[in-house]
Chains A and B, each alone.
Chain A
Amino acid sequence: MGKIFRYECRRLLWNKFFIGLAVVLLLYGALVLHSVTILGVSHTAPFSPWSFGDYLSRMMLLLWLGMLFFLTFYTSPQARRAAILMDATPMPPKQYALARCAAALTGGALLTLLCMVEAAVFYGRMFHWYSWGSLLLPALVTLLPALVFALGSGWLAGQIRPWLVYVWMAVPFLLAALPLPEALGLWNGSFFTAYPLTLETLDPAFTVPEVVLLPQGIALAAGIVLLTAWQNRYPAAA
């Protein structure tokens, strides 16, 4: 199991596409940090959890895309051809799917880490600010549900039709363009710019109201359910 996971990780992460994706992510991150985050959102510091959350919301577009891109490794024509051989191996399909899923999640986590490290370096270099602990909560609340849901739903989409994964990549761009209700503010980033202004205090501490937490919890749960429900199959078999 561990060996397969390592192999899948290597296949996913040690190639020019991952490197290219990481480079694009870093360049886009630098652009966002230098042009938007540096100004701070809602009168807060550029290194406040609110500004950091806004940065992550903007980066989520590419992270979502990257996460689904990893899944395309399992839905490509080559992977589908190889699936026949894989099916013939004594490896339980459930474990194999789990290993692949974990590898994709690792890839997503690495990209996320890259974004966060880039922001941390930016804060250190620009403001000599190093209290990174305060940024974990917005990162968890923003990214974890979204990326787990991306993986679960992408996995499902890939099983239905391989090309659906590509269509699914457009979802965050659509969400960013739509006027979402306040409860879904974390999905288009509006929460970080609008909510602090309603708290009527300068530099408010980071809090998330229940009405916003609820959809995040649902998304996280849905992602986990989709992953576990379908892990006995893998998309390539579709």
Chain B
Amino acid sequence: MKTMRLFPLELRRLLQSRLTWLIMALTVLSPVLGLVLYKPATSTTMLSVYLANPAMAGGVAGAILFGLLAIFELDRARRSRVDILTDAMVSPLTTALTRLLALLTAAVLTAGLTMLVWLPISAGLIGSVFTGANYVLAYLLLMGLALPLGILAAAAAYQFTRRADLSIVLFIAFCALSLTVWADDWQLCWLNPCVWALSDDFSNFRVFRSVAWMRLTWLAALAGVWTVSYLCIRQYGKGMFGSLARSVRRIYRPAVALALLAFSGTAYAAQPFIDQSNPDLTVMSFYEIPYAEGVTFLGRSAQVFPDTAAGTVTGRASYRFQNTSGQEQSISFGINPGYAISNVQTNGADVPFTVSDYQEYNEALLEVTIPAEEEVELTMEYSGFPQESMPTMQGGKELSSEYLCLENSTLSPRVMNVMPGEAGYPAEIEITLPDSMIAIPFSSSEAEVISENADGTRTWRYEANSAGGILYAGDYICEQIEAGGMTIEFYYGRKHQAVMEEAGAVDAVKAVVDYCTEHYGTLSFGTGETLKLIQSRVAGGGYAVGGASLLDEADFTIANLGDTDKGVVPGEIFIHELVHQWWGLGNMFDTSDSTSPWSSEGLTVYTTYRIVKELYGADYAQQYYVDQWQQVVDDYYLNFYVRHPEYLEMLPEAERLNIAGGLSGVRRYNEMPLKILKAEQLVGGEEAMDQILRGLFNRELDPMYPYLTYQEFLDTCHLTEEDLNLG
């Protein structure tokens, strides 16, 4: 009661201090650091750049500032040598609790103020993909919850040591630990959450859940530590242990501390987000499991029920095998490590099964023994929260009413050691989704709605032929585009509609597909009749399979579409990114040598130039492409580090890589297109170059090294590297 009576007084006193207002003002300003200095989110989506980074920078700076303020405030009476007097008036335990509550309230006020101040700035910077939910969650979780953690840690340090200087050192060391050693451990980096990207076009609940889990784990841990330090507050002239012995007499106090620490420990150990996959990615022991003798695959079906509110998946899977061995056989499945398996039956009877503790490539091993019967129907149920493997790149298993991607064993258990039957691995998948979502199998299969349910969901069905399979679903817009003699189904997120329309996406797709198909040939992963182009949630890159190709949303952000290195207007950037379907995905490039200017960018920028020349004329292409490349390349050759590489070598690694990266970008985006243009002139003009590129695009690939090399390009042009020197 006394604490509650003193709390308003303490809060008023705190808010009358100029230092408090300075700390609050600095904290409110601190997100600006995320725009210029501290950028832990490496993705280029608008939300990563203009929301995640400022919020995380604000969290780091705010937690440190409020931690220092806490130490300053707790040390105030002792510093003024009036602690003996104040302790005589009010119990030091009551004072500590009151001060903590006042500091936490000031932190809440500051977080609210920061959100108000940065709301219009963030909305302006992010543009049409800004949403209030992302904004509020980002600032609450990435920034807001960092402040109480800083206060609790610093206050605990002071209450243990009762020395301002020592507690500042301890607190700063604790912060430094999070920013350095623990930076890549998503559960330990209490100050700077492991967030590498926020999606512009789809939801980010998975990432936010993970950050919330980490924050709450630490909140419980630091509240527990603070409670222990609270018990150590010096009383009655006793030392730390004497005071502790006296404070623990009220048994609920240590009980609260223990409960908080136990809760934190449990939350740490039982986190549901990240699996325990073998970090050695060269080990692929699941692929070495011998095939079950005499067992062939007849078919499978699965009914999948994602719970988009909870982010979980429930499913039933059924497999039909032919067992001609006359013996029991052990069948191996890969399952997502977050799933629990139940009701495993063969031909209607329960059978034993085991799930391995060992995990590899985001899969655990489920082993089921099937009976020695010729036809076996194996059924099972699975449910759980899909886990991911890469703690520093979380978000891939996003599952909400806006987006989901269920890959292979996350969609349904994947058979690993059964030979395909005559029909291969026929599969029939049914998935029930909210009616706002479209199901898009990542293959040539088409999903169709088979029932509209009373609970606002629709059940989709599609057939496939594989042991695994990938399914995308989301709030997508689908544009059907006839181009290059095939139908392109272009799927992009509804939130991206304005950006796509501004960029003239449909026209760009048509122009690119027509041009590239005519000049270079059809994409090997198209079926000849259809090709799905699916914009995915930010994933760090795209990939392609037969009939479908993925476009990473990070390539189509407003900022990227304004990058003049890749084209002049957004529509041209879009063309650039689509051309990567031919040069980048259709034909891959070995990028292991970062010093080489040869990459998919050279041919992509050159092809973009050719398309633009065809669309807008030679003068336009000359002015906005060739002349610009030439100017940038001229500057490049005059660059100090290019003329004096020995000075570049002298620099520390971080600076060297940064500068070399910038120079390498110039070479890939400007020098190489100019070289290709020169090659075009040397081989006899555009038509001759088109023939050469067509030949290269359709060449027979070496499966061991399927990359298009610079030497191959030069050899096909009958040129040498020296022939293409621009100097």
A: residues with CB less than 8 A from B are 31, 34, 38-40, 43-46, 126-128, 202
Q: Which residues of B contact A127 (CB under 8 A)?
A: 647, 650-651
B651–A45 CB distance below 8 A: no
Q: Which residues of B contact A126 (CB under 8 A)?
A: 650-652, 655
Q: Which residues of A contact B241 (CB under 8 A)?
A: none
A40–B640 CB distance below 8 A: yes
CB-contacts of B619-655 with A (<8 A): 635, 638-641, 643-644, 647, 650-652, 655
Which of A34, A39, A44, A128 counts the most chain B CB atoms within 10 A? A39
CB distance from B337 to the nearest CB of A (A): 42
CB distance from B536 to the nearest CB of A (A): 33
CB distance from B663 to the nearest CB of A (A): 10
B650–A128 CB distance below 8 A: yes
If A126-B650, A127-B647, A127-B650 touch, whether A44 touches B655 (CB-CB below 8 Å) is no
B655–A38 CB distance below 8 A: yes
What is the 8 Å Cβ interface bit string for chain B, positions 596-637, against chain A (1 contact, 0 not)? 000000000000000000000000000000000000000100
Q: Which residues of A contact B37 (CB under 8 A)?
A: 31
CB distance from B649 to the nearest CB of A (A): 11
Chain B residue at smallest Cβ distance from A42:
B638
Which of B639, B641, B647 counts the most chain A CB atoms within 10 A? B647
Q: Which residues of A contact B644 (CB under 8 A)?
A: 45
Q: How far is the CA of A77 from the CA of B655 in the complex (A)?
A: 48
Q: Which residues of B contact A31 (CB under 8 A)?
A: 37
Which of B635, B640, B650, B659 lies in contact with A44, CB distance below 8 A? B640
CB-contacts of B383-406 with A (<8 A): none
How many positions in chain B have a CB within 8 Å of any CB in the partner chain? 14
CB distance from B651 to the nearest CB of A (A): 6
Chain A residue at smallest Cβ distance from B36:
A31
Q: How far is the CA of A149 from the CA of B644 in the complex (A)?
A: 39
If A126-B650, A126-B652, A127-B650 touch, whether A45 touches B659 (CB-CB below 8 Å) is no
Interface residues of B: mostly helix, strand, loop or mixed? helix
Q: Which residues of B contact A40 (CB under 8 A)?
A: 639-641
A45–B650 CB distance below 8 A: no
A-B contact pairs, 28 of them (CB 8 A): A31-B37, A34-B655, A38-B651, A38-B655, A38-B659, A39-B659, A40-B639, A40-B640, A40-B641, A43-B635, A43-B638, A43-B639, A43-B640, A44-B640, A45-B640, A45-B644, A45-B647, A46-B640, A126-B650, A126-B651, A126-B652, A126-B655, A127-B647, A127-B650, A127-B651, A128-B650, A202-B638, A202-B643
Chain A residue at smallest Cβ distance from B636:
A43
Sorted from nearest, which 9 A-B pairs have the closest CB atoms? Answer: A43-B638, A40-B640, A45-B640, A127-B650, A127-B647, A126-B651, A43-B640, A38-B655, A43-B639
Q: How far is the CA of A31 from the CA of B647 in the complex (A)?
A: 20
Which of B639, B640, B641, B659 counts the most chain A CB atoms within 10 A? B640
CB distance from A205 to the nearest CB of B (A): 16
Q: How far is the CA of A38 from the CA of B647 in the complex (A)?
A: 11
Q: How far is the CA of A127 from the CA of B659 in the complex (A)?
A: 14
Chain A residue at smallest Cβ distance from B651:
A126
Q: Which residues of B contact A202 (CB under 8 A)?
A: 638, 643
CB distance from A200 to the nearest CB of B (A): 11
| New A-B contacts (7) at CB < 8 Å, excluding given A31-B37, A127-B647 | A34-B655, A39-B659, A40-B640, A43-B638, A46-B640, A128-B650, A202-B643
Chain A residue at smallest Cβ distance from B662:
A39
Q: Which residues of A contact B638 (CB under 8 A)?
A: 43, 202
Q: Which residues of A contact B651 (CB under 8 A)?
A: 38, 126-127
Q: How far is the CA of A38 from the CA of B659 in the complex (A)?
A: 9
Q: How far is the CA of A59 from the CA of B332 in the complex (A)?
A: 66
Q: How far is the CA of A127 from the CA of B641 in the complex (A)?
A: 12
Q: How far is the CA of A6 from the CA of B651 in the complex (A)?
A: 42
CB distance from B26 to the nearest CB of A (A): 12
CB distance from B672 to the nearest CB of A (A): 22
Q: How far is the CA of A93 from the CA of B713 in the complex (A)?
A: 82
Q: Which residues of B contact A43 (CB under 8 A)?
A: 635, 638-640
What is the 8 Å Cβ interface bit string for chain B, positions 26-42, against chain A (1 contact, 0 not)? 00000000000100000
Q: How far is the CA of A109 from the CA of B635 in the complex (A)?
A: 37
CB distance from B189 to the nearest CB of A (A): 23
Chain A residue at smallest Cβ distance from B650:
A127
Q: How far is the CA of A40 from the CA of B647 in the complex (A)?
A: 12
Q: Which residues of B contact A46 (CB under 8 A)?
A: 640
Q: Which residues of B contact A44 (CB under 8 A)?
A: 640
Chain A residue at smallest Cβ distance from B646:
A127
What is the 8 Å Cβ interface bit string for chain B, positions 42-64, against chain A (1 contact, 0 not)? 00000000000000000000000
CB distance from A178 to the nearest CB of B (A): 22
